[in-house]
């Protein structure tokens, strides 16, 4: 039930009550554990998907005056993302900046994912732009999330442009990315464009799968 040291396996708890017992022991300790130790525990509870409990625990840690780092703030942002509370996500981002803690690629990726989950694709694109302007390189998962959101909202032109942007940034779109855009084009009556994109995909050595063919039928 203990928080394991470096080099050992991840924290394992039989249930969330075990984690809460350990948390109560930690906050009663003097001197207080570092934020790194709290992060290990919070991360373990996040893996159990008890997001509201993590938020409550974080507030108690905050009251103890324990210095926070970007990892702990990312955990909190992720919890609000999972709970569908975008307003609190941005509140935490504001706190990050106010504390002088530099957000990282995980911070922006988590925010973008949360925004897309709420179908606010244009806000997600704005966050993506801010992320790149700050010099952070988005990963393929972030790009694919935005691409899926654009297609879901039937923004065919922007979907294709974003696909090109991914390529320009050095990302090789995978079969899922291509199939997503091809499906969007077909649903909007742009069958020729969809076939052209399918041919382009094949020329790049990406083989169509059953999903791709289903889109084109």
Instruction: Tell me, yes or no, whether 148 lies in a domain.
Output: no
How many residues appear in the chain?
217
In terms of Cβ atoms closer than 10 Å to its own Cβ (0-12, 13-18, 19+), residue 6 is exposed
Do the domain assignments include residue 119? Answer: no
73 domain residue, yes or no: yes
In the predicted model, what is the mean pLDDT of residues 140-161?
86
Task: State residue 13's pLDDT score.
Answer: 65
Asked if residue 126 belongs to a domain, the reply is no
Average pLDDT over every residue of 49-63: 91
- Report residue 30's pLDDT band, with 50, 70 and 90 as the boundaries: confident
Mean pLDDT of 152-179: 86
Cβ neighbours, 10 Å, residue 147: 25
pLDDT at 109 over 70: yes
Residue 62 maps to a domain: yes
Domain assignment of residue 61, given as a range:
9-79
175, 171, 165, 169: which is closest to 201 by C-alpha? 175
In a domain, 61, yes or no: yes
The answer to the question of residue 168 being in a domain is: no
- Angle value at C-alpha 144, between 196 and 124, nearest 5 degrees: 115
- pLDDT above 60 for 10: no
How many domains is the chain built from?
1
Q: Is residue 203 assigned to a domain?
A: no
Over range 187-191, report the average pLDDT. 88
- As a whole number, the mean pLDDT across the chain is 83
pLDDT at residue 201 in the model: 86
């Amino acid at each position: 039930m203990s928080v394991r040291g470096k080099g050992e396996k991840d924290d394992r708890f039989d249930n969330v009550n075990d984690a809460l017992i350990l948390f109560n022991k930690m906050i009663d300790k003097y001197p207080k554990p570092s934020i790194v130790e709290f992060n290990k525990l919070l991360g373990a509870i996040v893996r159990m998907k008890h997001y509201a409990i993590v938020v409550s625990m974080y507030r108690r840690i905050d009251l103890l005056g324990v210095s926070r780092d970007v990892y702990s703030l990312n955990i909190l942002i992720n919890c609000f993302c999972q709970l569908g509370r975008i307003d609190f996500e941005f509140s935490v981002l504001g706190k990050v900046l106010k504390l002088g803690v530099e957000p990282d690629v995980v911070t922006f990726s988590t925010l973008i994912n949360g925004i897309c989950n709420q179908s606010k694709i244009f806000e997600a694109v704005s966050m993506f732009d801010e992320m790149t302007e700050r010099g952070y390189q988005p990963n393929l998962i972030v790009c694919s999330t935005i691409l899926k959101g654009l297609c879901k909202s039937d923004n065919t032109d922007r979907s294709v442009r974003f696909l090109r942007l991914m390529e320009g940034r050095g990302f090789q779109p995978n079969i899922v990315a291509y199939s997503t855009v091809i499906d969007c084009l077909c649903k909007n009556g742009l069958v020729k464009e969809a076939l052209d994109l399918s041919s382009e995909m094949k020329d790049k050595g990406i083989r169509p799968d059953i999903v791709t063919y289903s889109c084109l039928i």
